Each structure stands twice: as C-alpha cells, then as structure tokens.
Amino acid sequence: MAQAETGMHPVIRGETAAKKKSRIVQFARLLMKSPTGMIGFLIILGFVFFGVAGAWVSPYDPTHTEFSKKLLPPMTDGHILGTDQLGRDMLSRIIHGTQISLIIGVTTVFFAGTIGTVIGIITGYFRGWIDTVLMRVVDVQLSFPFILLVLIINAVIGAGLRNIIISLVIAGWVVYARIVRSEVLALREKEFILSCEATGVPRWEIILKHILPNLLTPIIILSSLQVATFIIAEASISFLGFGVQPPQPAWGNMLSEGKNYIFSSWWLITFPGLAIVFVSLGVNFFGDWLRDVLDPQLKGK
Amino acid sequence: MLDFVLKRTLQMVLVTFLALTAIFFLVRLAGDPTALFLPPDAPKSQLEEFRHALGFDRPVYVQYTDFVWNAIKGDFGESLSTRQDALSMVLARVPATFQLAFSALGLSLLIAIPIGILSAYKRNSIFDRIGVAFTVVGQAVPGFWLGLILIYIFAASLHLLPSGGGGSIMHMILPTVTLASYSVARFARFTRSTTLDILSKDYIRTAKASGVSVTRILFRYTLKNSLIPVITLVALDLGALLGGAVIIETVFSWPGIGRLMLESLLRRDFSVVMAGVFFVAVIYSVLNFIADLLYALVNPQIRY
Amino acid sequence: MSTNRTPILEIRNLKTYFDTAHGEVKAVNGIDLKIYEGETVGIVGESGCGKSVTSLSIMGLLPKPLASIKEGHIYLGDKDLTKLKDKQMRKIRGNDIAMIFQEPMTSLNPVFTIGQQLSEPLKQHTKLGKKEIRERIIEMLNLVGIPRAEAIIDEYPHQLSGGMRQRVMISLAMLCKPKLLIADEPTTALDVTIQAQILELMKKLKAETQMGMLLITHDLGVVAEVCDRVVVMYAGQVVEDTDINRLFDSPQHPYTRGLLKSMPKHNARKSLLNTISGSVPTPNELPVGCTFAPRCPDAFDKCWAKRPSLFDLGNQLSRCWLHEKEDAEGGSHANEAVTRD
C-alpha cells in the first residue's frame, strides 16, 4: 500500500525462481512466529487431508446402516465418536462431511471470486452505464440478508450439492465485485496506471499486467474469510433441510438429523458442530495471519 | 432533510421493486411453476387445470405486470396451503420476529460495547486477550449449532428453560442469546478497534489534560465518538441478524417470519415467500434509513 | 534570573525513557528546569530533542506503558508530581497546570459543542452550577477574543476556523486559572497572520495574570516574541539555558549559534538559508562524547572522548567543552554531579 501511494508499481515483476523460493521460505518463517497462524495452517492442512483422502482413512462406510448398533455413545464397539440413529459410524460420516465442506469452500470461493472479480474490474475500470446497472444489482443483493437469499435460490432451483454451490455463488459474488471495484477505482488513479494509459498501452494489457496483480492481495484476504462464510452458510442451509440431502453426510444435515435426538444422544449434535467450528476457526486464524502479513497496515484492526 | 427523505424513499421503492422482480423471474425461470407447487406425481390434467386457474398459462410479461400491479396494492395472492392472504400471514408473524431480533440486537450491543471499549483501554492485558480470543472463536461458531448446544445444556440436561416455542420470557432467553451471538463477536471486535483508534486522537489527550477521569473519557467521550462507526456496523449487520433469525426461529420453533418463510419454502408456497421477501426488503431499507438518521444525530458534521 | 523567589515548577534531573523493541530510548536524559511566577520559559530544539516528552512528563500524560519517568523529580510548589497517584494527578491537570496543543484542528472533539468541552475542567475542578459554568465560559471566550461568545458556545468545532479553535483551546486551558500553562507548539499549525494574533493573545494573558508559562517550540521567532528565558535542548539534554537577550546577543553553545544562523532573516531573503548539517542522532545511538560533536563546527578531540557537563557562565549555562578554560578561571561547575553518560 505504502508503495502504491508513491505511485510506484507495487508488484515486483520478473521474479526469478530463486527469489520466489526465498519468498516461500520467508513466509514459512513468518508463519512459525505466529502461533495462531500456525494452528490455522495445521487445521487447514488436516481439513484438506481428510477432504481428499477421506474415503481411505475413514474406519467405516459412512452410509452403512446397522440397526442393532444405533445411537451408540462414543468409544463403544470400535465407534470412536459413536453411531447415529441408523447405526452409522459418526467419525466416518464427519470425515466424509469434510469432503463436502472442502468442495463447497473451494468451488464457491473460486467461482464467486472469479465472477465477482471480473465484474468488479469491468465496472471499476470502464465505469459508464454498465457500472451503474451492475452496481444497482449489487446494491439490491446486499440489501437482502445473505443466508435468506441463498435459502430462497436453493429452494427454487432445488437441493443437492451442485445446486447449493450455484446458490452460494449467485448470492456471494457481490462481495467480491464490490471490493474489487473499489480497489480498481483507487488503482486507476495511480500514476503507474495513468502513465500506461498516456503511453498508449492497450486496455487489456493494463488490466492483465498492471491491475490484476495488484488485486491479488485483497482478493486473497477476502477469500480466506469467505471460505468460512460459505462453509457455515452451506451447513446452515443443509441444516434447514435444503442444500446437501441425506443420506450424503454433510455436517449441516447431520446436525439436522441429530437435533431430533438431542434429549438422549448428545454426540449427534456435538461432533459435526465441532468440526464446523474447527474448520472455520482454522480458516479465520490463517486468514487473519495472512492479512497481517500481506497488508501490515491493517494489523491489529 | 426533505430531499434526503425523498431520495431515500425512492431508493427504497427501487430496491424493493428490483428484489421482487428478481424473485419473480427466479421462480418463473427455474422451471414450470406449477411443477414447483404440485407434487411431482400429479396427473397432467390436474397440472393444466392448476396452471390455468393461477394464470400461469399466460405470457410471462402479462404475469409479471399483473404481479407488480398486485404487489403495489399489497396483494401477493393467497397461501396455497392455508388459503389466507399471504401478506397478512407475514404481518401476523412480525411482532414475534421483531421481539426476537431487537432483544438480540440490544443484548449483543450491551455485551459487545463494554467489552470492546475495555479491551481497547486495557490493550494487551489478560482481559483484552481473553476478549479477543472470545471474539475470534465466536465468529467461528455457527449460530444454529450454538442454539442446539444451549438447548442440550439448558433444556435437555438442566431442565431450566424450554427448548422451543414462544409465549413467555423464559421462551425468549435461549433464542435471544443465540441470535445475539451472531453479532456479539463482530460488534466487540469492531468496537475495540474503533476505540483504539479514538483513544489515540488528539482530543482525548486534550480531555486528559483537562483532568477528565479515565472512566469519563471511556464512557462519555469514546462512546459517543465510537457510536458513529458502530451505528454503521449495526446497520450493515441487520442483514445477518434478520437472516440469522430465519435459522434461529427454526431451531427454537419461534413463531416468526423466518420460520414461516422456511415452512413456505418447504411447502413451495411461493405467494407467502414473495410477501416475505417484500416485507424483508422493505424493513431492511427502513432500518437502514433509521440508521442514517441516527448517524446524523450523533455526528454533528452531517446534516441532511 | 530571579533566584530569591521560589519557583512554581522545578524539574530536577528528569530522565524519561521509552521502552521500545530496540531497547531503552533515553528521550529525556537528565534535565533541570525552573519556572517562576509570571515568567515565560521557552524550550527550543529540533524535533526529537525531547522537548515534547518533557512537557508530557510534567503533565503525567506519557504514553503508558511505553514511556516512564526513570529518575528525577518534578516539583509543583512542594508537591512532587512524579510521586502522585493518577487520581491526585488528575486534580492538578487542567487546574494547576494546563496545556495547549499543537493541532487545534484535531484537539477538539468533533461530536461535542464548544460549551460541552469547555465545561469539563470546571466540572472536574470546581463546584460551580450549570449557569455559573456557562457564564464563566462566556467570560473566558470573550477574554481570549472570540466574538459572539454566546453563540459560539453552542457550536461544534467544525464550524470554527483554525485560529478560533486555538483560541478555544487557550480558553480551555485558562478556565481554572492555572499556575502554569504549557504550550506545545501553539502556533505551528496556523497561518502566519493568525500566528501573530495568537502570540499577541498569549502575551496579553501573560501580562494580565501571574501564571508561569512553558512554551515549547522549534521557532526562535516565537521565542523572541514571548519568552523571558530560554532552554535549548539537544538529544534529551539541556545544552544552553539563558535569558532571552543573551540568547540572541551572545549565544554560547555552538548548537544555539547554529539554530540562530538557520533563522530566516528579513533582509537576506535571497541568500541561502543556513542549516546545521546532519540531523539529530537517534537517542539510542548517541556518541560517547558530546552528543552534538558529529554536527559541531567547533568540535575538537575532547568533544569526541567525553561528554561535557553544564558550565555556569554567570548568567548563562552551556554544555560545551569550549567553556572549560573560562570555567576554570571563573568558577565551579553549575552542577557538581554532572558526569552523565
């Protein structure tokens, strides 16, 4: 930021491989220094591991029902976290839920981020009527509760993993559009952009080579926070009976099923919830650390 | 002032209109609306009859103008399940939702502002660290899960409070606490950073130099100064609060708009959903408008 | 110097240090200062010399826990301010000692009216009723030359100009009739014409009351206007202490001479401005010898080896080895225990 204010090009380009490597080492060193950042990183690492390798590491088939073994409390019969009302192993179901949350987190952030960034750049850089129209749309969307919007969209287009991702993307891109637009509005007044325009550099080149690289930091910071938002939103929607449908084990619908047994079997609502808390805590920790490192001016805010 | 009210009212009308348009086309474009209303195994003749009765066989633009015209008159049609007027069904649920939302808002401000101010003042102390940790964890806990845990602790285990339903103060406690948890962490975190910012201002030094006590500085000066950003935040957070209400009302079977909308969505009773969307869009704009007026009230530099 | 009266404020060997990530920073490193009734003392020096930290030390407004008084005493009458508790100190601030700050634009709270802010010290330190407070404020606003005081009292800071705000700040400081007024760069942020008006006002107030004033500034022009005596600070220490006439007629310390030379003169508008080469050393990287030696045109071997103490030159104190010879002939050291690091 400080560099940008002096009108210099803040992104150092033409980095050599060696420099890049040393930057990774530098980041690793910084991460070692921050306990919360490290915890966040480890949680994310675990999250990704279980998300990818879940099928191989889970002790049981998450959809295998066994009525004779229903509602077993944790640590009985080889079921570390107990079983649910159909006798399915809780641990295996939570591990499989990890996969769904991981897919949700990655895809929604990717698509919402891409759409929002493209629209943010177009509106911020070209202004004009397209800006007016699209920003009205953004205003309308932002003037409506996010979760309610996701819920309605999902109810209309139908439940299921693919549709909940679509719903989250439709409701979620506006946040990116708004932030990217305001960044672009600030960037295009900077000397290094103005001088490019003055020397006749084509617009697409200005956007790709000069604007986009400078948007990376705010987008990364925003995304790290949005991952948690999207994961929690999906869990909420699935909890309400839309989103991911049983028997597919998502954390949200596990809680929805478990709430009927709240008076007798505490483990049904406890563990899936804890999984959500852990993941979003880890993502938030890591996101905060990332923000402090990438944008030191915001530190402590 | 009059200009401002006029401008905001127009803006409100526009936002509501666009929201309704969006929801109308969303419902229509998502496929044949009759298919949404009727069970999938309904016979074809019944489908046709239903479609004609509700006017879905007319061109979309006719349906749309019809819809808008009726909406202006406050007519969103009848609920398909209860045959009652959709908007009156929504309005009947308003008091319950307002009761819950505003007590939650009050509670979260009551907790968050003192915590935020004190942890800014005692920056880096144990109190501050615990406060910050609390807000970070608080942001990671999904509200509905906290609700379930509270039900488990206070209703299922301790038998102190009812697990759901409405009617008494006792019924309100758990949903209010749960809904408040949506905002407490954010408010506290925000109040802390604003207060830190304000405490470093020159005018606070001036107050200290006049011999004003710390408590007075914190709770008279900083409070009034930090109210400005906090009001903005509250306005921005109303969406989360109203959205949270949908989920929390379901968890606690609270008879509010949120639960009505969810039930209607599950029953594909879209007239009620439309009326609900209309109401939420209007109320959200009105509350934002009020926030702007409050903003002008505490900040003498702003006059509309 | 009026040595037979007791001073309002006496600072003895004050050391205020900052605890930073890079170790202890000696922002104020053993200064002595006396202010008598009706006297205006200026503290002059470049930024970073410790003059503002001195004033914050007196007010007890050091940024805690970053900075603290490590040694020394600040006497207000018979009370040692360094020993007071927060609550006792609060009774003194705004009452016995008041302070005016540099930035009138930001030193007033934007969300309270002038009247609300001016009533604070009166509420804290007097038992006056609402009506009396208002009367007193209007009276004071008139005294500092604010027109339409009855209307201004209900206005907000953003409705006033910079000069008006500084007048408000001065009236805020004067409300409880303090024994000592500390003014930290009171005119720096103002336009030249407004500067002159504010200085006139301060002179007038000084003439009308018996209060002592401590004026902190980097501007020798301002010093010439209002001060009776001047203390020149460099790197946390007093390097020269003299009355106003001697400061301009016969400055003793090379640093003071440098400051005077760098003053712009009316009749030499076209010539290059003289500057003292180099910059103030950071307080944690001070040289072994005289702190000014690296920038001093007259430095010789001894200056690099050993730090000088304050030499008493009769009516003037100066921290420079150049006076050693005269000193040996003329008298003793001003301060016996001054082999400070």
Tell me, what's the pLDDT at A19? 67
Given a contact cutoff of 8 angstroms between Cβ atoms, the answer to whether C75 and C81 are in contact is yes
Contact B203 C107 (CB under 8 A): yes
Q: Is C101 in the B-facing interface, judged by CB distances under 8 Å?
A: yes
Residue A103 has pLDDT above 90, yes or no: yes
> Which chains sit next to B, with 3 or more Cβ pairs under 8 A?
A, C
Token pair 């205003």 in the structure block, residue: A139
Beta bridge partners of C80: C75
CB-nearest partner of A139 from B15, B22, B156: B15
**Quick one: pLDDT band at residue C333, thresholds 50, 70, 90?**
very low
On chain B, the residues whose CB falls within 8 A of the CB of A236 are 142-144, 247
Q: Can you read off the two tokens belonging to residue C271?
A: 């010539």
Q: Please give, rounded to a whole number of angstroms, the shortest distance from the CA of A297 to a CA of chain B.
A: 13
Give the integer Cα–Cα distance in Å for B160 and A161. Answer: 39
Average pLDDT (B105-118) is 90
Give the integer Cα–Cα distance in Å for C163 and C171. Answer: 12
CA C223, C224, C229, C234 dihedral sign is positive
**Quick one: pLDDT band at residue C329, thresholds 50, 70, 90?**
very low
Contact B210 C106 (CB under 8 A): no
On chain B, the residues whose CB falls within 8 A of the CB of A280 are 139-140, 142
Give the integer Cα–Cα distance in Å for B101 and A167. Answer: 25
On chain B, the residues whose CB falls within 8 A of the CB of C63 are none
Residue in C with minimal Cα distance to B226: C111
Q: Please give, rounded to a whole number of angstroms, the shortest distance from the CA of C190 to a CA of chain B.
A: 16
**Quick one: pLDDT band at residue B304, thresholds 50, 70, 90?**
low
Give the integer Cα–Cα distance in Å for B216 and B224. Answer: 11
Give the integer Cα–Cα distance in Å for B79 and B271. Answer: 6
Given a contact cutoff of 8 angstroms between Cβ atoms, the answer to whether C67 and C80 are in contact is no
Average pLDDT (B245-249) is 87
Q: Is A262 in the B-facing interface, judged by CB distances under 8 Å?
A: yes
Give the integer Cα–Cα distance in Å for B125 and B118. Answer: 10
Average pLDDT (A112-141) is 89
Q: Is B58 in the C-facing interface, judged by CB distances under 8 Å?
A: no
Mean pLDDT over the full length of chain C: 84
The complex's ipTM works out to: 0.84
Tell me, what's the pLDDT at A101? 93
Give the integer Cα–Cα distance in Å for A291 and A220. Answer: 9
Mean pLDDT over the full length of chain A: 85
Summarised one tens digit per residue, pLDDT across range C157-194 is 989 988 899 999 999 999 988 999 999 988 887 888 88
Tell me, what's the pLDDT at C341? 41
Rg of chain C in Å (alpha carbons): 21
How many pairs of residues across A and B have Cβ atoms under 8 Å apart?
128
Q: Is C124 in the B-facing interface, judged by CB distances under 8 Å?
A: yes
Summarised one tens digit per residue, pLDDT across range A231-275 is 999 999 999 989 898 888 899 999 999 888 888 888 999 999 999
CB-nearest partner of C59 from B209, B224, B225: B209
Average pLDDT (B280-297) is 81
| Lowest-confidence pick of A286-290, B5-9, B112-116, C264-268 | C264-268
Mutation site, B194, B206, B212, B301, interface C, largest C CB count within 10 A: B206
Tell me, what's the pLDDT at A49? 93
Summarised one tens digit per residue, pLDDT across range B186-208 is 888 888 888 888 888 888 888 88
CB-nearest partner of B242 from A137, A145, A263: A145
Q: Provide the residue type at B204 as one letter.
A: I
**Quick one: pLDDT band at residue C273, thresholds 50, 70, 90?**
low
Contact A143 B281 (CB under 8 A): yes
Summarised one tens digit per residue, pLDDT across range A115-127 is 999 999 999 998 8
Q: Provide the residue type at B195 as one letter.
A: T
Q: Can you read off the two tokens belonging to residue B269?
A: 């009773």
On chain B, the residues whose CB falls within 8 A of the CB of A270 are 149, 152
CB-nearest partner of B265 from A137, A146, A155: A155
Domains and CATH numbers, chain B: 86-298 (1.10.3720.10)
Give the integer Cα–Cα distance in Å for B269 and B202. Answer: 58
Tell me, what's the pLDDT at A16? 60
Contact B152 A266 (CB under 8 A): yes
| Lowest-confidence pick of A50-64, A112-126, B30-44, C48-62 | B30-44
On chain A, the residues whose CB falls within 8 A of the CB of B277 are 144, 152
**Quick one: pLDDT band at residue C325, thresholds 50, 70, 90?**
low
On chain B, the residues whose CB falls within 8 A of the CB of C93 are 208-211
B and C make contact (3+ CB pairs below 8 Å): yes
Query: pTM of this prediction?
Result: 0.77
Q: Is B88 in the C-facing interface, judged by CB distances under 8 Å?
A: no
Given a contact cutoff of 8 angstroms between Cβ atoms, the answer to whether C310 and C335 are in contact is yes
Average pLDDT (A221-229) is 89
User: What letter would DSSP give residue C273?
Assistant: P
CB-nearest partner of A284 from B23, B140, B144: B140
Residue B148 has pLDDT above 90, yes or no: yes
Burial A108-139 (b: 16+ CB within 10 A, else e): bbebbbebbbebbbbbbbeeeeebeebbeebb
Distances (CA, A) of A135 to B32, B254, C238: 30, 36, 62
Q: Please give, rounded to a whole number of angstroms, the shortest distance from the CA of C244 to a CA of chain B.
A: 28
Q: Please give, rounded to a whole number of angstroms, the shortest distance from the CA of B300 to a CA of chain A.
A: 26
**Quick one: pLDDT band at residue A3, thresholds 50, 70, 90?**
very low
Average pLDDT (C271-292) is 72
Q: Please give, rounded to a whole number of angstroms, the shortest distance from the CA of A116 to a CA of chain B.
A: 19
Q: Is B209 in the C-facing interface, judged by CB distances under 8 Å?
A: yes
Q: Please give, rounded to a whole number of angstroms, the shortest distance from the CA of B18 to a CA of chain A.
A: 7
